A = this chain, B = another copy of it.
Amino acid sequence: MITPETIRAAHERIRPHIHRTPVLTSDTVDRIGGARVFFKPENFQKIGAFKARGGLNAVLQLLETEQKAGRRLGPVTTHSSGNHAQAVAFAARQVGVKAFIVMPRTAPSVKKAAVRAYGAEIIECEPTLEAREEGVREVIERTGATLIHPFDDDRVIAGQATAAWELIEDAGNDQPFDFLMAPVGGGGLLSGTGLSAHFLSPTTQVVAAEPDGAADAVLSFSSGRVEKAPVVNTIADGLLTTLSDRTLAYIREHVTDILTVSDAEIVAAMRLLWERMKIVVEPSGAVPLAALLKHPDRFAGRKVGIILSGGNVDLGKLPFSS
């Protein structure tokens, strides 16, 4: 069970290794959106995404457990084609253990290079979920590595919760946020955001956003069972995963609503962030702002905190036209 003390301890644990990202505001965004928006730019975080928080907390907690038991921490592993791969590679390097990252052979070479730059070993596999899980099983059998799941893990969720925790501490004290917004893929960040709001700012409503082209969380949220998306086709490639029972439970408890947006709306929000705030945000990171812009009546005049989840994009393949 995650308590306020769990999140506080996670924050103490990871604090020496991460950036306390700032809080950004923009008169232009406020004017266009009709709300008062406070951004938490986790694109500036280590590895370029909030995932550094959860990966670090899990690995550091593992290390503590092993040390208390008088053992040395062995290698860690995960499968991911995205930011979690870098997060685990980064966390492993911080504590000096080996990381084995199972990645689909089709993953962009720039992402593989980033994982290698942290000293991790990449195991390539076919680009299917089955192949990825099988790859991790083989690594564990061969090396005894410990799996760091990208979201179905309370240590990871407590780490992700520190982003909203900092945002509330830095900008939500004098006047509480009316809303906190985060994107939802597997639900680790959203669960953590819901928990932090619940503990630190109980009057704040947490509203999630996901792409029309990966609209599984909104179905699961409504049915109470983990559902798959009817269509999987979106530019927001960090949000393709479905929830787990664990994250669905947190989300049903602490989240008010899940809004969906089209890819065109995501690109428009992303363009606004790039052009007017001069920051590089990946499509997944622009999804909550897209939802805010889509529902002006709902957020009119309200104080809104938005977590910009990451900034890892392939600059050679951007969705902007002239």
Q: Which residues of A approach B to under 8 Å, CB–CB?
A: 22, 41, 43-44, 48, 271, 274-275, 277-281, 311, 314-318, 320-322
When A and B form their complex, which 9 residue pairs have the shortest distance between CB atoms, in order from nearest? Answer: A316-B322, A278-B311, A315-B320, A278-B280, A43-B278, A316-B321, A316-B320, A274-B280, A44-B278
Q: Can you spell out 8 A-B residue pairs with CB atoms less than 8 angstroms apart? A: A41-B278, A43-B278, A48-B278, A278-B311, A279-B279, A280-B280, A314-B322, A317-B322
Copies of the chain in the assembly? 2
* Interface-central residue, A278, A320, A321, A322, by most chain B CB under 10 Å: A278
Q: Within the assembled complex, what's the spacing in Å between the Cα atoms of A321 and B321?
A: 15
A278 to B44, CA, bound (A): 6
New A-B pairs, 14, CB < 8 Å, besides A315-B320, A318-B318? A22-B22, A43-B278, A271-B315, A274-B280, A275-B280, A278-B280, A278-B281, A278-B311, A279-B279, A279-B280, A280-B280, A314-B322, A316-B321, A318-B320
Q: How far is the CA of A320 from the CA of B318 in the complex (A)?
A: 9
Cα-based distance from A48 to B278 in the complex (angstroms): 8
Q: How far is the CA of A322 from the CA of B320 in the complex (A)?
A: 15
A274 to chain B, nearest CB (A): 5
Chain B neighbourhood of A320, CB < 8 A: 315-316, 318
Report the separation of the CA atoms of residues A139 and B271 in the bound assembly, to the nearest whole angstrom: 35
Q: A22-B22, A279-B279, A279-B280 are in contact. Are A315 and B274 (CB under 8 A)?
A: yes
Q: Which residues from chain B contact A318 at a C-beta distance below 8 Å?
A: 315, 318, 320
A317–B271 alpha-carbon span in the complex (Å):
13
> How far is it, in angstroms, between the C-alpha of A316 and the C-alpha of B320 when the chains are bound?
5
A43 neighbours in B (Cβ, 8 Å): 278
Bound complex: CA A277 to CA B279 (Å): 9
Q: A312: shortest Cβ distance to chain B, in Å? A: 9
- What CA separation (Å) do A320 and B278 show in the bound complex? 17
Q: What is the CB-to-nearest-CB distance from A281 to chain B, in angstroms, rounded to a whole number? A: 8
Partner of A315, one of B48, B275, B277, B311: B275
8 Å CB contact of A279 from B22, B278, B321, B322: B278
Residues of B within 8 A of A275 (CB): 280, 315
What is the minimal beta-carbon distance from A148 to any residue of chain B, in angstroms? 23
